[in-house]
Amino acid sequence: AQTVTQSQPEMSVQEAETVTLSCTYDTSESDYYLFWYKQPPSRQMILVIRQEAYKQQNATENRFSVNFQKAAKSFSLKISDSQLGDAAMYFCAYRSTGLVTFGTGTRLQVTL
């Protein structure tokens, strides 16, 4: 079974600084998708960024970028120029032909 591990229950970053959230996964599949979702206190889950495993180029969405290391099964999220609105729970998720599997989440705090 696929597993997704987020080893950082909580992270803190100062406004305008950069923070990296870690995610590792375990799979025997070669074709899959990886995602980072943001869940603010209102609890509506929002897709932040996604990466197709067959693409070597790391995905980027404005201030959000990933470091995808397929051999190491690592998928970290980098948030640049952090803003107060980035404060939320961040979930890493894996999707193949089977189930969608989420990690346990990292709570990101943004301080002034």
Partner 1 sequence: EAGVAQSPRYKIIEKRQSVAFWCNPISGHATLYWYQQILGQGPKLLIQFQNNGVVDDSQLPKDRFSAERLKGVDSTLKIQPAKLEDSAVYLCASSPPLRSYNEQFFGPGTRLTVL
Q: Out of 88, 105, 108, 110, which residue is the one contacting partner 1 (CB under 8 A)?
A: 105
- Whether the Cβ atoms of residue 77 and residue 21 lie closer than 8 Å to each other: yes
Interacting positions 11-30 with partner 1 (CB under 8 A): none
**Contacting partner 1 (CB under 8 A), which of 61, 69, 100, 111?**
100
- List own/partner pairs for 27-30 with CB under 8 A and 24 or more apart: 27/2, 27/73, 27/94, 27/96, 29/2, 29/53, 29/96, 29/97
- Of 66-95, binders to partner 1 (CB under 8 A) are 91, 93, 95
Q: Output Rg (C-alpha) for the chain, integer angstroms.
A: 13
Specify the stretch interacting with partner 1 by CB under 8 A; choose among 13-21, 41-49, 62-70, 79-87. Answer: 41-49
Give me 80's structure tokens: 């640049």
Binding site for partner 1 (CB under 8 A): 4, 33, 37, 42-47, 50, 52, 91, 93, 95, 98-105
